Chain A
């Protein structure tokens, strides 16, 4: 394992220090915590998100005007703990309540629910929006539901815009649940991530193999096969996502997300292929985004997210100006 780190125990602390010191005009650190919060507050419902570290720029990269009020960093690929989430909720709350945006993983759900119960005792009202955009996993009685992955970033943006415009906690909860249903994602990996504390890749893939449907912590996907040209990879993911919509959308937004170890060059090539495929199907793309947003440490691979943009207000929300580190 080769990584630019010091002691593995200090990774999160040192990352947060570096991040906050680099963008002091946008964010600050809540003392003795793993919470990064935005500097200027105006009266609105607070949006708090977070999750394991290793997904940078998620989640602190999206703290700022028009997106998140605060983000909580857990250990690498491990949900933050309830006391830390509670600190973020207290820091962000301005009396209008707190909306928690949580990716659908068992650990995240449990910790955010516990935090919610603890905050309730201090009269902080909150709601949870659970994002489960990963269609690689079927939602059946044998799984803990679908996973929450890169589509979460779009939820941050859309709800951030609504919160800034003065939506109430109930309205945001409703809008969030509604938006999540319109977002679908699948990922693919060329090489697994190496968690620093573990020191070796989370799974083995042969030099010429890829895996479709991996999660953002390297959870297994649905199929392994020999690497193919980008066109074929794009076809597999696009077809699968479109098939998952009850009715094929006419207008979509596209997010091609790098997993951390894949150059932008390859991400743009992949985006080009996706856009061509959508054009063939007469689907209009009215919003585009390419880059590393929900990474998986140094995993090589990409994920594709589509969002149904039949509702014009969603496109407007995605395009509104924000002041964050990474949007």
Chain B
């Protein structure tokens, strides 16, 4: 595998399309356990990324992450904005001065830094029923040398059986069970888009 700035931008373009397509689905997931706006919020973020991309195309991988990060932080709001923003910001630092990502292991390390950003900002652990539940297994898969959509889907589905410990869903306690976490679902789209670019 090899990702240049072109593939990374392709990754975010695909993610943008997926968010737009799944806006209703993500908000519906958020309705029983949140306030039903995760799709709308994420859509605002990717639209902002598109707008800044059109204005000035970033030239490096790091710069691309930077533009994406700022779009999420300044437009998404809620918890998702700062969590995606913090993840991407760490990935900016990890890719400074790099022209290409040449191995799964290296990509895994970059995503691991993103995961560390989410955990730190959100004070979140694995199985709190958040986006971490997708980012963590994805990181492990990448470091082990592969990533496919089945693994991502499994990680996302796993959140269904968990009791939420963070965010508005946590106020439901036991009743948060039986629902996929919306942040895990948007993160699954994020990594689905990555898989499509790698292949």
Contacts and interface: CB of A to CB of B under 8 A. Distances in A.
B78 A217 contact: no
A219 B168 contact: yes
Label chain A's interface by main secondary structure. Answer: loop
B121 A202 contact: no
Interface residues of B, number: 34
B97 interface: no
Interface stretch (B12-20, B51-59, B169-177): B169-177
Interface in B65-110: 73-83, 85-86
B198 to A, nearest CB: 30
Nearest to B170: A143
Contacts of B167: 106-107, 144
A111 B82 contact: yes
A229 B102 CA distance: 69
A78 interface: yes
Interface in A102-117: 105-107, 110-111, 113-114
Label chain B's interface by main secondary structure. Answer: helix
Nearest to A213: B171
Interface stretch (A69-77, A236-244, A252-260, A300-308): A69-77
A215 interface: yes
Given A78-B37, A110-B121, A147-B171, A141 B165 contact: yes
Contacts of B166: 106, 144
Nearest to B85: A114
Which residue of B82, B163, B167, B173 has the most chain A CB atoms within 10 A of its CB atom?
Answer: B82
A198 B166 CA distance: 23
Contact of A110 (B44, B74, B122): B122
A106 B37 contact: no
Nearest to B38: A78
B31 interface: yes
Interface of A: 52, 74-84, 105-107, 110-111, 113-114, 137, 141-144, 147, 195, 197-198, 202, 215, 217-220
